[in-house]
Chain A
């Protein structure tokens, strides 16, 4: 221990987001070739074109430096667009950094996209060899691990069937199995755990644990904060392409969870209005048991509160929301567009909407709320994952047992009644 496996210094990646980026036609380059000298000449004579450049490029990663010690399992967390995937892409050499460098020690294997290169016409056996060699295994290595791979994927009897006839579950299992047997010194994992059934997910987590135990380094990107807590010792938190925090995993996850509410008191979010929507949200908050909070116990009552502003006076604003679990799958939704709703007596330009969710039957875990705001006609302001909250385990019924959280995101408060089929003999 103690040896560095990955060392990043001043890592930066710039992307062009202009329309031309995707398909550059020869014509464009020719016209560019004509105009660029002109433009340069113009900027020389005082006219500044710097704004143009700034508009069409973004830094997906900016000046990120960190060290990862050999044998560590390191989680990378951050909100969507924070640069997590870009970081993994650079580490796996798929794309080059624009600035800075990373030194890596040993072979890097990635689970960025399992099943890459699978061909539907080929059989399971053939795809194991094809996919194995694509992700960087030697033929001899695949030969040796072949039985293990097939056993892990549980597809023995379909080995010689073209995989176009596989179920999606079989396909995923085989794909993950090949990737999991790569055994590189550094393993990059990105969100693979979102696929497959619960049993298989457990197996995958176990596999990552095994990889870690055998002294290899794992870099693990996930929105599944529970998994991060359980298998990572350290974490890197990215915010808008920059390194916000690194260190102890629990500490980082807490920071990340609280960081998303930084703007006010930790339970609400204030929206700026860059897109100049005519009807927009100004702030939103989660309320648990009548006080702003990001943590709720199972069985607590919750509410969402949204402050809004409108250019035109409005009588009946519409608020919709979806609650997503940590895998990003939306599990609940509500909206006053589809149900009876009050309205303002006189049209207003500013106001507040409160939506009482009542007792929310969510299992323990992390959730995010996406908000849709608008009028009868359309949603004018949509904020994905605007609010985050965590539900903690609680013995709701006071019977000494807790609804398990790994079965599903929802538990249902039900009444059970028993009826005996054979009436009692001795009454």
Chain B
């Protein structure tokens, strides 16, 4: 460094002796750079903060939408399924039974559909400034986490209302949340990276989400499934998430070990494979998106 280095207000984290870095073509399956990602954590925070701030601008009821969405869906399903085809639900009020599963589901569906488009909507950023591109889908997940947090308050309120006290299984809630994040981010990373090159993904997303909803035990429990169908549900990473949410909060019986183990493994696998794939495609994003003038 120059002799005047002392007088420069260098940012925290950058040492006075600047480090060398090499810019070169990346080949094959490059290692994932968690250190760099961590350095850019504030950017993820600011992008999420922007989305939260902007989303409910010029709306009449503002943030209430966050609670209104799960509430309306819950009521609709409750009226449809709770009244017409009453199911034996282990002494849990059906609205709550749905809601507790609906909230992680909505997190998942929001993260995968929004992160799919995120690289396209933040195209201007990506083609003009360097940062680990994964920050963009992570920011989408952070934004969804804000909604998730608020919706969980609603769950707490309803639990008090119905007088439900969670048991020791409540300790599993963090695990459920982590699995939810892993599955969402993993699938989100896969789809967003694919969408940069193949815009087909964008068009397939609504169908994918709808289909995925029906193979996720939100409106029903896995215990109600015929044995021959179980393997399908064990392949769905959201099965373990939804079931663990119910188990920890409402004290319903846990799903059998085979489904839980497979589903959890797939959730973790989707995270790692998603990140690897994203990393591999990352370098060609700008060339695919077009530099712009």
Chain A interface (Cβ < 8 Å from any Cβ of B): 1, 15-16, 21-27, 29, 70-71, 85, 89-107, 110, 112-113, 116-117, 119, 121-122, 126, 129-130, 133-141, 144-145, 183, 185, 214-216
Report the separation of the CA atoms of residues A70 and B46 in the bound assembly, to the nearest whole angstrom.
32
- Distance (Å) between the CB of B181 and the closest chain A CB? 22
Task: Name the residue on B nearest A90 (C-beta).
Answer: B23
Indicate whether A94 sits within 8 Å of B54 (C-beta atoms), given known contacts A134-B46, A215-B5. Answer: no
B227 contacts the other chain (CB 8 A): no
In the complex, the answer to whether A92 meets B22 with C-beta atoms within 8 Å is no
In the complex, the answer to whether A144 meets B9 with C-beta atoms within 8 Å is yes
Complex interface: stretch among B122-130, B171-179, B265-273: B122-130
- Distance (Å) between the CB of A90 and the closest chain B CB? 6
Report the separation of the CA atoms of residues A11 and B57 in the bound assembly, to the nearest whole angstrom.
46
In the complex, the answer to whether B46 meets A103 with C-beta atoms within 8 Å is no
In the complex, the answer to whether A97 meets B200 with C-beta atoms within 8 Å is no
In the complex, the answer to whether B20 meets A215 with C-beta atoms within 8 Å is no
Indicate whether A129 sits within 8 Å of B46 (C-beta atoms), given known contacts A24-B288, A96-B26, A122-B53. Answer: yes
- Distance (Å) between the CB of A294 and the closest chain B CB? 28
Q: Which of B19, B23, B25 contacts A93 (CB 8 A)?
A: B23
Report the separation of the CA atoms of residues A288 and B45 in the bound assembly, to the nearest whole angstrom.
60
B91 contacts the other chain (CB 8 A): no
Please name 6 pairs of A and B residues whose Cβ atoms are closer than 8 Å in the assembled complex, sorted by A.
Answer: A103-B23, A105-B20, A116-B128, A117-B124, A119-B50, A130-B50
In the complex, the answer to whether A130 meets B23 with C-beta atoms within 8 Å is no
In the complex, the answer to whether B128 meets A214 with C-beta atoms within 8 Å is no
Q: Which of B19, B122, B283, B290 contacts A96 (CB 8 A)?
A: B283
B24 contacts the other chain (CB 8 A): yes
In the complex, the answer to whether A93 meets B125 with C-beta atoms within 8 Å is no
- Chain B residue numbers with a CB within 8 Å of A21 are 287-288
Report the separation of the CA atoms of residues A212 and B1 in the bound assembly, to the nearest whole angstrom.
13
Indicate whether A100 sits within 8 Å of B4 (C-beta atoms), given known contacts A89-B291, A94-B129. Answer: no
- Chain B residue numbers with a CB within 8 Å of A102 are 22-24
Q: Which of A91, A94, A101 contacts B22 (CB 8 A)?
A: A101
Report the separation of the CA atoms of residues A107 and B54 in the bound assembly, to the nearest whole angstrom.
31
- Distance (Å) between the CB of B20 and the closest chain A CB? 5
- Chain A residue numbers with a CB within 8 Å of B122 are 117
What is the 8 Å Cβ interface bit string for chain B, positions 1-45, against chain A (1 contact, 0 not)? 111110111111110001111111110000000000000001101
Indicate whether A136 sits within 8 Å of B131 (C-beta atoms), given known contacts A103-B21, A214-B4, A215-B2. Answer: yes
Interface residues of B in 60-117 (CB under 8 A from A): none
- Distance (Å) between the CB of B35 and the closest chain A CB? 15
> What bracket does the count of chain B residues touching chain A fall in?
35 or more
Indicate whether A95 sits within 8 Å of B291 (C-beta atoms), given known contacts A112-B128, A117-B129, A133-B43. Answer: yes
In the complex, the answer to whether A214 meets B7 with C-beta atoms within 8 Å is yes
- Chain A residue numbers with a CB within 8 Å of B198 are 24-26, 29
B197 contacts the other chain (CB 8 A): yes
Report the separation of the CA atoms of residues A113 and B291 in the bound assembly, to the nearest whole angstrom.
12
Most buried by B among A29, A113, A137: A113
Indicate whether A117 sits within 8 Å of B23 (C-beta atoms), given known contacts A26-B198, A89-B291. Answer: no
In the complex, the answer to whether B2 meets A91 with C-beta atoms within 8 Å is no
B286 contacts the other chain (CB 8 A): yes
- Chain B residue numbers with a CB within 8 Å of A70 are 1-2
- Distance (Å) between the CB of B227 and the closest chain A CB? 36
Q: Which of A121, A133, A183 contacts B9 (CB 8 A)?
A: A183
In the complex, the answer to whether A105 meets B23 with C-beta atoms within 8 Å is no
Task: Name the residue on B nearest A108 (C-beta).
Answer: B130
- Chain B residue numbers with a CB within 8 Å of A144 are 9
- Distance (Å) between the CB of B238 and the closest chain A CB? 25
In the complex, the answer to whether A94 meets B127 with C-beta atoms within 8 Å is yes
Task: Name the residue on B nearest A27 (C-beta).
Answer: B200
Q: Which of B7, B10, B13, B46 contacts A130 (CB 8 A)?
A: B46
Report the separation of the CA atoms of residues A217 and B55 in the bound assembly, to the nearest whole angstrom.
40
In the complex, the answer to whether A119 meets B130 with C-beta atoms within 8 Å is no
Report the separation of the CA atoms of residues A100 and B25 in the bound assembly, to the nearest whole angstrom.
8
- Distance (Å) between the CB of A89 and the closest chain B CB? 7
Report the separation of the CA atoms of residues A24 and B18 in the bound assembly, to the nearest whole angstrom.
40
Task: Name the residue on A nearest B4 (C-beta).
Answer: A215
Most buried by B among A29, A103, A117, A126: A117
Task: Name the residue on B nearest A116 (C-beta).
Answer: B128
Indicate whether A215 sits within 8 Å of B24 (C-beta atoms), given known contacts A24-B198, A119-B50, A139-B42. Answer: no
- Chain B residue numbers with a CB within 8 Å of A104 are 20-23
In the complex, the answer to whether A138 meets B286 with C-beta atoms within 8 Å is no
In the complex, the answer to whether B9 meets A106 with C-beta atoms within 8 Å is no
Report the separation of the CA atoms of residues A192 and B200 in the bound assembly, to the nearest whole angstrom.
37
Report the separation of the CA atoms of residues A140 and B10 in the bound assembly, to the nearest whole angstrom.
11
Indicate whether A110 sits within 8 Å of B129 (C-beta atoms), given known contacts A90-B23, A138-B13. Answer: yes
Task: Name the residue on A nearest B14 (C-beta).
Answer: A107
In the complex, the answer to whether A107 meets B124 with C-beta atoms within 8 Å is no
In the complex, the answer to whether B54 meets A121 with C-beta atoms within 8 Å is yes
A102-B24, A130-B49 are known contacts; what are 17 more A-B pairs with Cβ within 8 Å? A24-B198, A93-B130, A94-B286, A102-B23, A106-B19, A117-B129, A119-B50, A122-B50, A122-B54, A130-B47, A134-B43, A134-B129, A137-B11, A138-B12, A185-B1, A214-B8, A216-B8
In the complex, the answer to whether A185 meets B18 with C-beta atoms within 8 Å is yes
- Chain B residue numbers with a CB within 8 Å of A136 are 129, 131
Report the separation of the CA atoms of residues A91 and B130 in the bound assembly, to the nearest whole angstrom.
10
Task: Name the residue on B nearest A141 (C-beta).
Answer: B11
Most buried by B among A16, A23, A70, A98: A23
In the complex, the answer to whether B129 meets A98 with C-beta atoms within 8 Å is no
In the complex, the answer to whether A133 meets B46 with C-beta atoms within 8 Å is yes
- Distance (Å) between the CB of A98 and the closest chain B CB? 6
Report the separation of the CA atoms of residues A183 and B128 in the bound assembly, to the nearest whole angstrom.
18
